[in-house]
């Protein structure tokens, strides 16, 4: 869409002259609409736990005042809701940070094997609770690259946590890494990290929108598991910053494979 403004020349020299300016407003309108949608989503996501908290506070002050058993139960629920809000605010801050960072190239020398091992170590307790075992297939040789180590850890944490949360019924999660002197997608030296689960899978109609903020393939399940709907949006921005790619393949009833493809820059 184009906005057009015409101004009739007023001065003596400008008599009879009409200035016409054209401006493409499609992008501006879209950006404005996206911002409004985002604020509406955030408000809705924050209001849900807040409403629950306010309801339980009222009940604790009134009907449940003299019922310690119900009181303890309600406090548990209130803690869950407060933790949900805390996770949401944490993810919003991460998203804000990574969006701001996107134009700044990472400069750290990192070893990808170390980042993945440390991520798996951190998530080990979560996997054990869900009865999931990790299988790893890493190359012998350490894969060194220029990256932002903390951000890459966040990428793998978010994807592996999802594999445990949504694919955990498969009993195992495979993390595979392969380096290539000519990564076919990047047409340059690169590394592929695949996170494979053998769980319920995702209906293919959801796949193109999975990295949108607050998009959930299974809304009920995501909320029941305490998801914020922002994990993969954060992943997408970090991978963009690293000039990498994210691929998702999934089949209902068989499982899901997330593939992170990262370039390996010279300079080490
Ligand atoms: P959430 O906080 O809801 O987990 P994410 O952005 O991390 O948000 O993921 C978006 C949605 O993608 C999830 O709500 C879930 O429906 C779907 N999803 C992500 N990973 C998997 C997986 N491994 N198996 C099945 N569904 C998944």
With a 6 A CB cut-off, is 198 part of the ligand 1 pocket?
no
> Is residue 267's pLDDT more than 60?
no
Lowest mean pLDDT among 12-26, 87-101, 181-195: 12-26
Residue nearest to atom 19 of ligand 1 (CA): 162
This model of the complex carries an ipTM of 0.99
pLDDT, tens only, 70-79 = 999 999 999 9
pLDDT in tens, 22-43: 777 788 888 999 899 999 999 9
Q: Does residue 231 sit in helix, strand or coil? A: helix
> What pLDDT is stored for residue 22 in this prediction?
72
CB of 217 shorter than 6 A to ligand 1: yes
167 in contact with ligand 1, CB cutoff 6 A? yes
Residues whose CB falls within 8 Å of the CB of residue 83, separated by 6 or more in sequence, listed in order: 226
Of 84, 159, 222, 251, the one to substitute when testing ligand 1's pocket (max ligand atoms within 8 A of C-beta) is 222
Distance 202 CA to ligand 1 centre (A): 9
- Is the CB–ligand 1 distance for residue 227 below 6 Å? yes
Higher pLDDT, 186 or 19: 186
Predicted confidence (pLDDT) at residue 214 exceeds the cutoff of 90: yes
Distance CA 38, CA 108 (A): 32
The pLDDT score that the predictor gives to residue 268 is 44
Checking if the pLDDT of 6 tops 70, the result is no
């Amino acid at each position: 869409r184009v906005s057009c403004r015409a101004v009739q020349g007023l001065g003596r020299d400008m008599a009879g002259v009409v200035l016409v300016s054209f401006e493409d407003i499609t992008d501006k309108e879209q950006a404005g609409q996206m911002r409004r949608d985002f604020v509406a989503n955030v408000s809705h996501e924050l209001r849900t736990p807040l409403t629950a908290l306010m309801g339980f506070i009222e009940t604790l002050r009134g009907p449940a005042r003299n019922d310690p058993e119900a009181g303890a139960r309600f406090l548990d629920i209130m803690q869950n809701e407060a933790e949900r809000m805390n996770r949401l605010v944490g993810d919003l801050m991460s998203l804000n940070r990574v969006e701001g960072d996107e134009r700044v190239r990472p400069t750290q020398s990192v070893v990808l094997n170390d980042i993945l091992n440390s991520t798996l170590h951190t998530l080990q307790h979560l996997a054990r609770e869900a009865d999931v075992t990790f299988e790893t297939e890493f190359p012998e040789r350490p894969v060194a690259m220029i990256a932002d180590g903390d951000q890459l850890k966040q990428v793998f944490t978010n994807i592996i946590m999802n594999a445990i949360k949504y694919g955990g019924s498969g009993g195992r999660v495979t993390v595979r890494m392969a380096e290539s002197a000519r990564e076919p997608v990047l047409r340059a030296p690169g590394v592929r990290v695949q996170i494979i689960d053998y769980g319920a899978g995702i209906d293919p109609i959801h796949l193109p929108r999975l990295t949108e903020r607050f998009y959930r393939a299974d809304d009920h399940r995501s909320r029941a598991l305490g998801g914020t709907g922002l994990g993969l949006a954060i992943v997408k921005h970090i991978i963009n910053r690293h000039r990498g790619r994210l691929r998702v393949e999934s089949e209902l009833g068989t499982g899901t494979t997330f593939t992170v493809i990262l370039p390996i820059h010279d300079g080490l």
